[in-house]
Amino acid sequence: MQYDVIVIGGAMSGGTLALALSRVANKRVAVVEAFAGPVQHNPSTSNLSDNLSRHPGFDSRAIALSLGSVQLLRKYALWSDLSANATPISSIDVSDRGHFAQTGFDAQQLDKELLGAVVELADVGRVYQEQLQLDPNIDLFCPDAITQLVQHANHVDVELQSGIQLTGKLIVAADGANSKVAELINNTKSIDDFEQHALIANVELEQPHRNRAYERFTAHGPVALLPMTDNRMSLVWCMSETMLKQALAWDEQQFLTELQGQFGWRLGRFNKVGALASYPLQLHKRERLIHHRIVFVGNAAQTLHPIAGQGFNLSIRDVAALVDAVSNDEDCGEYHCLAKYRDSREADREATCAMTSAFVRIFSNDWLPMVVARNVGLAIFDIAPAIQGAVKNRSLGLV
């Protein structure tokens, strides 16, 4: 079974890549995905359940897509199916709890249609599963997993857990931070532990969110709230392991009270919170983006802290760069294609990793000199166009 590209991992990065390679580059693609399908959708606020274990790529979390990511999804004819359940972001409010400074972005002021949009991963999973199954250029091997690969001069042989053998000119590792492909070729990674955990839930509001997203910095870590359908917000609350253990033991009323104390009353009262989930926050960076006829994209290449919502938005730029690099070559695994991809990603990758890591360290502590400095910085940001441009463009994914 011979393919131009074999994509290992069919979640958001791998699924987007496979569909883009078919639609834009007319490549014959195999997608190998270990999980049988997306979680079942539940529109209530309790839809963040124990389904995390069923498909970590399409669980019931929500993510913020930047404007640049929305534009790329439109280019790949994916946005029309996703937009029906997406919530536009018209403005972003950034503040530091207990201090004077705040800033933000507004789509109208920037002359943009929107700043981004929030999608629920379970919704994306259903759309992608259907599109992958319907595409005549794509074969989906699911559930199945890679067990070994052998690199040859002009192709790579892959064996799956099912015993099926595939041959591809290019292998793409889109199988997450703990990539099996990386393990098989011994492509190591660096890990920067932020000593934080993300607590995730959906909360129901008393007042309309008016399509505004919030990033609030506290002494424990950032609190992000993203607008969703049915007047809900997706909560990502970053905190220490000690505080996480306490938070998981709170009853619903205490949880809402503690959250209200950290976030404030910009959205009125929080009425209800769904089930909780959590995961540790670390920066993972793969040592090499390319190997002989193998490339790494998305979380398999780098996994970021969720501050400023850059994770998938960086990943989809990986996808776009790879699609551009291989579109005009019959043999998309040749070194010059891979080198073009690697070289085009280095600056964006380093800048985004550096920015998110710096934000974590600047805004996740209560050391007084740092508190003063960051509040002065937020105040200056609103009156310093030279600073605004670079930060806003990266936040909007326009890089």
Q: Which domain holds residue 20?
A: 2-38+125-190+283-358
Residue-level pLDDT at 43: 33
Contact 240, 195 (CB under 8 A): yes
Any domain includes 387: no
Q: Which residue has the tokens 């938070």?
A: 247
- Measured in whole angstroms, the distance separating CA 124 from the mean position of its chain's CA atoms is 12
Can you list the residues of the chain whose pLDDT is less than 50?
A: 39-55, 57-58
Residue-level pLDDT at 366: 61
CA distances from 235 to 124, 201, 259, 332 (A): 19, 5, 10, 40
Number of domains within the chain:
1
pLDDT in tens, 210-254: 999 998 888 778 899 999 999 999 999 999 999 999 999 999 999
Buried b (16+ CB within 10 A) or exposed e, 191-220: eeebebbbbbbbbbbeeebebbbbbbbbeb
For 300, the token pair is 């398999």
Contact 44, 273 (CB under 8 A): no
Residue-level pLDDT at 44: 34
Residue-level pLDDT at 358: 75
pTM summary value: 0.87
Any domain includes 140: yes
Buried b (16+ CB within 10 A) or exposed e, 386-397: eebeeebebbbb
Any domain includes 156: yes
Any domain includes 48: no
Any domain includes 69: no
For 197, the token pair is 């955990």
Residue-level pLDDT at 380: 56
Any domain includes 396: no
Residue-level pLDDT at 371: 58
Residue-level pLDDT at 316: 95
Any domain includes 343: yes
Any domain includes 308: yes
Handedness of CA 136, 141, 146, 152 (dihedral sign): negative
Residue-level pLDDT at 370: 55
Residue 176 backbone class (left: φ over 0; alpha: ψ -120 to 50; beta: rest): left
Domain CATH number, residue 157:
3.50.50.60
